[in-house]
Each structure stands twice: as C-alpha cells, then as structure tokens.
Structure 1
C-alpha cells in the first residue's frame, strides 16, 4: 500500500471496501514528515503526538471531500499547520501568558530535553528558531527542514510567494545573528 502514489491512495479511499487500507497507507506515507513538522512547532514529543493524532482525525473526516485543488501533501501540511497554531493558541490561553513568555517556555522545553547540549549547533539552531515570530518560524521550518517550494508553501499558508520569501529571508538573518551572538 505504501508504494502507491497519492492519486491511487485517494481513489482507494473513495471505495468503501478499501477505505481503511488506503487511509493506513496515507498515514504510513506521511506520518513521520508531519510529526517532525509538528514537533518543530510545538517542541514537546507528547504534544506533537497529540496534535498529529488530531490531524489524522481531521484528515479521516475530511478526506472524502478533498477536491484535489492542491496536492495531498500540501493539504495535509495545511491541516497540520493549522492544528499546531490552534494548539499553541490554546496553550497560550490556558496559561494566560504573552507570546513572548510562551516562546521562552518553548525554549525551556528544548533545554529540558535529555540530549540538550548548548554547545552543539543543532541546539543553538533550535533555540534561535524558537525566538522567531510565529509566522517566520513556520516559514523557516517549512523551507529549511521540509524544503517545501514557495509555491506549495503559499497554498499551505494562504500567503503570497513574495511575502514568504521575505519572511524566510528575515528569519534566516535573525537566526544567523542569534547564533553568531551565542558563540
């Protein structure tokens, strides 16, 4: 089932007798990529698992109505991104803290990770990413880690390609500055 392309999986999903197998194929094909996309946004493993589960529940409920105006991959990332933003907003409301305090909390979660080493570049990069404004953080993660083309990102985030390029440029500059100042 995993070797099937998206069009084949969608076709199988629309048939009652193969619907569950097709959905399992979609989950197997995309769950790791979506998990890491979500994890980079919410930081904590358990939170990422919860958000990913919510994503796949929404996908199951909505996949029958998927019009294929975009690629399945793009549609899944849009749902995952929106679920992350919803989760982060709920966390912010629950704790009634400002976004700056929430960013600090995400940085603390990174520092609390068992493998954290402040001298390693990958950890500095993660801390720098958490300092970015939300939109720049999302754009940077999609471009840097997922290597998502701006055209696809535009569909996921409902933003023009030019604005996304500017956001990525500003994010990269801020990260570079943060890392340079940490050394």
Structure 2
C-alpha cells in the first residue's frame, strides 16, 4: 500500500479492487482530524467517538459516488469529507435537541416479567399449532364433536 498517493488516487486505484485497503488508508489519514472536528462540535468525547465512526462508515458507503470535481482533503482546506462530517454532526445534534434521551442507568427499577415462562408458553403454542396443522380435516374437527 503506497501511502504517498493523493486521496483521489487512493480512491480511484484501491476502491474498485481493494475497498478495505482504501478504507484503511483514508482512516489512518483522517481519523484524528474527524474525531477532533466532532469533539469540537459536540463538546463530548464519547459522542465524538460515536459520530466519527458513523461518519467513516457513511463516507465509505459514499465513496462510489465521490466525484473528483470536489476536493477530498481536510487539512487546511475543507473538502468533501469535511462537509460530510460537519453535516452529520449538525444533523445528529439537531436530532438530539428534538428527541431527548435518558441513559439506561437513569431509568427506575422496573420488575422484569418472567421471560422463561413467556418463552415456554410461546414454544408450547408453536408446537401445538404444528401438531394441529398436521391433523387431517376429520381428525381435527372430529375430535371436537361430542359422541353419545
């Protein structure tokens, strides 16, 4: 893997035949920059880490549509990757303001239903349905009739 290639060359050469190599090169080049950009926008290290991982997945999925008319590089000049990252963070922050979230450990204790009993009931009903379906018409309806 030659790392002196431009980003556009990496995409053009590696993406069609070795997409994982393409991703690895771009990730090594930009993961710190994207993380710091997300950290600056979110003011939250954990959220920035999550966002930066999501951004790399999103960028990787969009590499096939990358047109060399737009600039890919981030360093000292915004480009396509920077725009994707910035827009993703802004969208997620906007969604976060619309839908407040509560951490799982902040929920009050709620008694759990007995999952074992529920699963056993479902399994019994499933097997009963299979057994019932295997009966012939006369066996199925004949068993419901009262005989005197």
* Shorter-chain TM band: 0.5 to 0.7
Cα distance in 2 for partners of 1:46, 1:13 equals 31
Deviation at 1:7, TM superposition (A): 2.4
| Contact kept in structure 1, 2:72 and 2:81, CA below 8 Å | yes
Q: What is residue 38 of structure 2 aligned with on the other side?
A: 38
Task: Provide the rounded CA distance (Å) in 1 between the counterparts of 2:71 and 2:36.
Answer: 19
Instruction: For residue 38 of structure 1, report the CA deviation from its aligned partner.
Output: 1.0
Shift in Å at residue 23 of structure 1? Answer: 1.3
Question: How many angstroms apart in 2 are the aligned matches of 1:56 and 1:84?
Answer: 12
Distance 1:3 1:32 in 2: 18
Gap regions ≥5 residues in structure 1: 97-183
Can you list the C-alpha shifts for 1:114-152, whole angstroms capped at 9, x where unaligned?
A: xxxxxxxxxxxxxxxxxxxxxxxxxxxxxxxxxxxxxxx
Which residue of the partner structure matches residue 4 of structure 1? Answer: 5
Spell out structure 1 runs of 4+ moving beyond 4 A: none
Q: Deviations over 1:141-179 (max 9, x none)?
A: xxxxxxxxxxxxxxxxxxxxxxxxxxxxxxxxxxxxxxx
Unaligned stretches of 5+ residues in structure 2:
74-78, 102-148
How many residue pairs get aligned? The number is 95
- Aligned partners of 2:81 and 2:14: how far apart in 1? 15
Superposed CA RMSD = 1.6
Question: 1:95 & 1:14 partners in 2: Cα distance?
Answer: 38
User: 2 CA distance for matches of 1:38 and 1:3?
Assistant: 26
Structure 2 equivalent of residue 71 of structure 1: 71
| Correspondence 1:15 to 2:10 | no
The structure where helix makes up a greater share of residues is 1
The within-5 A match list for 1:103-122 is: none
Helix, strand or coil for the counterpart of 1:72?
coil
TM-score by length of 1: 0.49
8 A contact 1:12–1:19 mirrored in 2? no
- Please give the TM-score of this superposition, normalised by the length of structure 2: 0.59
- Paired residue for 1:54? 54
Cα shift at 1:95 = 2.5
Larger gyration radius, structure 1 or structure 2: 2
